[in-house]
A and B are shown apart, each in its own frame.
Chain A
Amino acid sequence: MRYSGWKVLAQGLRGNTGWAPAWRDPAPKAAYDAVIIGGGGHGLATAYYLAKNHGLTNIAVLEKGYLGSGNIGRNTTIVRANYFLPGNSEFYSHSLKLWEGLEAELNYNVMHSQRGLINLFHSDGQRDAFARRGNAMINQGDDAVLLDREGVRELLPYLDYDNTRFPIYGGLLHPRGGTARHDAVAWGYARAADRRGVDLIQNCEVTGIDVVDGRVTGVQTTRGAIRARKVGMVVAGRSSQVAAMAGLRLPIESHVLQAFVTEGLKPVIDHVISFGMGHFYISQSDKGGLVFGGDLDFYASYAARGNLPMVEHVMEAGMTLMPMIGRARVLRSWGGIMDMTPDGSPIIDRTPVAGLFVDAGWNYGGFKAVPASGWCMAHLMATGESHPVAARFRLDRFATGHLLDEEGTGSQHNLH
């Protein structure tokens, strides 16, 4: 099914009775060249690039629910490349470039909107840290502009600049940062992968991973056994459970992160604003809702809902920063499960089981990573070698001490 303005009009006149499903609903085959566990953003992107970049089309994505039922449809959609450490910097830079061509690549409107992201700072020390980060971004070939207080005021006149605890000193503007429509990214990759022959199999939960003599031979699922010499585990918040099926223990602790959206308002917030000191960030969706969130609830959790203290904290931080939103009514709140690593950076690597690969540990930043993660995971599964921009996302870096601790908060899973 292809979409166009003309089709929408014609379908409107025919009562929308002529739309066909965007992808097939195949039954699982007995064997594939490769299977990907998890039909979220990363799994679907991996399947697409395996087919497109590496010509592997006898492959399947196995999803326990429906496509896009996980975090890909629960996040607050921020897309940015403002990382500092070598290892992260080149990866997210690659991802942002893929985002910039994604709609043409998939022929799908993912509503990528580079509206600019502003990280606020509130002290001289923080200004120095952001100046340094901005330089790292520029060195990586991305964009960053250090704004002083008046520079921020010009863009965001409605903030409270004189808050006694966190007076605004300025902000680091990342003009190419922004947002995208989260579901559309899953749907775009799904349709494009399906077109290239990838079987997208829904309601198919993987319940076991078959390993013979240290080599993966296939998976057990709720829809029968499936043989495959290559298996990719791309299950975000469920990484520990799926890896345990192959006898592996991961450096991951799962935590819940909440988010909120208000009723639709007229356009009022043009950028993505991040108020790190208050644990608060916000943007406005194209539908008009203020989309905002804060930090983790901070204790290990698999509940897709959080607790009230963090709700209160996020609301307080929002009111501290921009009192004008006090009259907006919150429409919904929800939570998603984050696979937190001890250094806050992800894993795209082989495992000790031959033929079994892992793409996990995205913490709360995996939406922006979807294109590059798929690209690099596909490269790894097809060639057996890490892609250069993901070469540091190794599973053994914790044991060897090569951590990528972007925030410098130490080996505690919930502090990243």
Chain B
Amino acid sequence: MRLTCPLCGPRDRREFYYYGAAVYLDRPAADAPPEAWDEYLHLRDNPAGVTQDLWYHEQGCGSWLKVTRNTVTHEILAVDAVSAADAAEEAR
């Protein structure tokens, strides 16, 4: 498996650390109710098919990446940097 980092180009899977579903970008506010934190930390759609998850280019540029891929075929459909702009939009 290879991921094409937007900054570094196509790189071996071993350079990346997998964190989890991209819902990790939707961090609840500190005073959100426990249910919101349960959603955020634990509950998952867990699709058999196209999903989005977060990877970290640990042995490369150090970017956090939002990867769109298929969990059944292992096909990688898109790799986007989780830029500051994205993060700001997610926070809104």
The complex places the Cα of A398 from the Cα of B20 at a distance, in Å, of 17
Contacting B44 at CB < 8 Å: which of A252, A302, A307, A309?
A: A252
B80 is an interface residue with CB less than 8 A from chain A = no
Q: Which residue of A lies closest to B41 (CB)?
A: A411
- In the bound complex, residues from chain B placing their C-beta under 8 Å from that of A302 are 48, 71-72
- In the bound complex, residues from chain B placing their C-beta under 8 Å from that of A225 are none
Q: Which residue of B lies closest to A313 (CB)?
A: B14
A57 is an interface residue with CB less than 8 A from chain B = no
A334 is an interface residue with CB less than 8 A from chain B = no
Instruction: Establish whether residues A240 and B46, one from each chain, have CB atoms under 8 Å apart when the complex forms.
Output: yes
The complex places the Cα of A301 from the Cα of B1 at a distance, in Å, of 12
The complex places the Cα of A215 from the Cα of B55 at a distance, in Å, of 40
A296-335 toward B: CB 8 Å interface, digit per residue (1/0)?
0011111100010100000000000000000000000000
> A299, A307, A399, A401: which has the most chain B beta carbons within 10 Å?
A299
Contacting B72 at CB < 8 Å: which of A250, A299, A303, A414?
A: A303
B81–chain A nearest beta-carbon distance, Å: 18
Bin the interface of chain B by size: 20 to 34
B22-53 toward A: CB 8 Å interface, digit per residue (1/0)?
00000000000011001001111111100101
B79 is an interface residue with CB less than 8 A from chain A = no
Q: Which residue of B lies closest to A413 (CB)?
A: B20
A249 is an interface residue with CB less than 8 A from chain B = yes
Instruction: Establish whether residues B19 and A251, one from each chain, have CB atoms under 8 Å apart when the complex forms.
Output: no
Q: Which residue of B lies closest to A411 (CB)?
A: B41
- In the bound complex, residues from chain A placing their C-beta under 8 Å from that of B82 are none
- In the bound complex, residues from chain A placing their C-beta under 8 Å from that of B12 are 309
Instruction: Establish whether residues A398 and B53, one from each chain, have CB atoms under 8 Å apart when the complex forms.
Output: no
> With A303-B71, A303-B73 as given contacts, are A253 and B48 in contact (CB-CB < 8 Å)?
no
The complex places the Cα of A168 from the Cα of B12 at a distance, in Å, of 32
> With A254-B71, A300-B21, A300-B53 as given contacts, are A249 and B14 in contact (CB-CB < 8 Å)?
no
Contacting B53 at CB < 8 Å: which of A250, A299, A342?
A: A299
Instruction: Establish whether residues B44 and A413, one from each chain, have CB atoms under 8 Å apart when the complex forms.
Output: yes
> B1, B34, B43, B72: which has the most chain A beta carbons within 10 Å?
B43
Q: Which residue of B lies closest to A305 (CB)?
A: B74
Instruction: Establish whether residues B74 and A240, one from each chain, have CB atoms under 8 Å apart when the complex forms.
Output: no
Instruction: Establish whether residues B71 and A301, one from each chain, have CB atoms under 8 Å apart when the complex forms.
Output: yes
A241 is an interface residue with CB less than 8 A from chain B = yes
- In the bound complex, residues from chain B placing their C-beta under 8 Å from that of A251 are 38, 42-44
The complex places the Cα of A309 from the Cα of B14 at a distance, in Å, of 7
Instruction: Establish whether residues A253 and B41, one from each chain, have CB atoms under 8 Å apart when the complex forms.
Output: no
A203 is an interface residue with CB less than 8 A from chain B = no
The complex places the Cα of A414 from the Cα of B20 at a distance, in Å, of 8
The complex places the Cα of A391 from the Cα of B20 at a distance, in Å, of 29
A412 is an interface residue with CB less than 8 A from chain B = yes
Q: Which residue of B lies closest to A400 (CB)?
A: B34
Contacting B43 at CB < 8 Å: which of A249, A299, A412?
A: A249
> With A253-B20, A301-B71, A412-B20 as given contacts, are A307 and B1 in contact (CB-CB < 8 Å)?
yes
- In the bound complex, residues from chain A placing their C-beta under 8 Å from that of B20 are 253, 300, 412-414
The complex places the Cα of A252 from the Cα of B18 at a distance, in Å, of 16
A104–chain B nearest beta-carbon distance, Å: 40
The complex places the Cα of A142 from the Cα of B41 at a distance, in Å, of 34
- In the bound complex, residues from chain A placing their C-beta under 8 Å from that of B34 are 399-401
> With A300-B71, A303-B71, A399-B34 as given contacts, are A342 and B41 in contact (CB-CB < 8 Å)?
yes
- In the bound complex, residues from chain B placing their C-beta under 8 Å from that of A342 are 41-42
> A252, A301, A309: which has the most chain B beta carbons within 10 Å?
A301
The complex places the Cα of A401 from the Cα of B42 at a distance, in Å, of 11
B20–chain A nearest beta-carbon distance, Å: 6
Instruction: Establish whether residues B44 and A399, one from each chain, have CB atoms under 8 Å apart when the complex forms.
Output: no
Instruction: Establish whether residues A240 and B44, one from each chain, have CB atoms under 8 Å apart when the complex forms.
Output: yes
A415–chain B nearest beta-carbon distance, Å: 9
A59–chain B nearest beta-carbon distance, Å: 28
9 closest residue pairs by CB, A with B? A251-B42, A240-B46, A399-B38, A398-B42, A299-B18, A302-B48, A411-B41, A342-B42, A249-B43
- Chain A interfacial positions (CB closer than 8 Å to B): 238, 240-241, 249-254, 298-303, 307, 309, 342, 398-401, 411-414
29 residue pairs of the A-B complex, CB under 8 angstroms, read: A240-B44, A240-B45, A240-B47, A241-B48, A249-B43, A250-B44, A251-B43, A252-B44, A253-B20, A253-B21, A254-B48, A300-B18, A300-B51, A300-B71, A301-B71, A302-B48, A302-B71, A307-B13, A309-B12, A309-B13, A309-B14, A398-B38, A398-B42, A399-B35, A400-B34, A411-B42, A412-B19, A413-B20, A413-B44
